[in-house]
């Protein structure tokens, strides 16, 4: 069976190019994730790995779609190999059915990881420069009625409200709630 794994980093990104590629290959089954490739904690990746059987081939547009670091890439392809499943990356022309393909997979995986790490390093450097110039302040702080928040927190401490109900009321996340509680010494 021909299986295609498709991944976009965010919901806003479009997987149309990858889907079109899959159609051209007459793929039998497509798995689509809308999640970062920074780790392997992706629902459809897990489903795809559970689905494939011996003799299947997993295709993807390029290796950065399946993994963004060498360790994850090698672990995924090893899992596929252990099941008797081939892996083909179309952009890099890598086919793990051959020894050369396995070698090139490692090389390109290392290059993809280097690219990701370089992007993150440049981003961190840019943020540090912007901070030094007073142009980067971080995310805008969520604004809400602090007096009402204090009153609700008081009731929470007295057991009259739950933390979750307060989070819903002020439309804030759990980390934001507990950070604000700490800042206000509640």
Active-site residues, by number, are 9
Rounded-to-integer distance, Cα 102 and Cα 84, Å? 14
What is the pairing mode between strands 57-60 and 29-34?
Answer: unpaired
CA dihedral 108, 110, 112, 116 (to 10 degrees): -170
Collapsed DSSP state (helix, strand, coil) of residue 157: helix
Rounded-to-integer distance, Cα 27 and Cα 4, Å? 7
């Amino acid at each position: 069976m021909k299986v295609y794994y498709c991944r976009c980093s965010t919901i806003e990104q479009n997987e149309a190019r990858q889907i079109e590629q899959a159609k051209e290959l007459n793929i039998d089954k497509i798995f689509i994730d809308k999640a970062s490739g920074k780790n392997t904690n992706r629902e459809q990746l897990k489903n795809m790995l559970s689905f494939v059987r011996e003799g299947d081939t997993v295709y993807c547009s390029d290796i950065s779609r399946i993994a963004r670091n060498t360790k994850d890439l090698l672990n995924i392809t090893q899992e596929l190999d252990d099941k008797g499943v081939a892996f083909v990356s179309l952009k890099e022309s890598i086919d793990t059915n051959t020894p050369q393909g396995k070698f090139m997979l490692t090389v390109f995986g290392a290059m993809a990881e280097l690219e990701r790490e370089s992007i993150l390093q440049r981003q961190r450097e840019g943020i540090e420069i912007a901070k030094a110039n007073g142009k980067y302040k971080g995310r805008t702080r969520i604004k809400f009625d602090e007096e009402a928040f204090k009153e609700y927190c008081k009731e929470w401490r007295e057991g009259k409200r739950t933390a979750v109900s307060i989070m819903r009321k002020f439309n804030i996340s759990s980390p934001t709630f507990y950070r604000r509680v700490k800042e206000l010494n509640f």
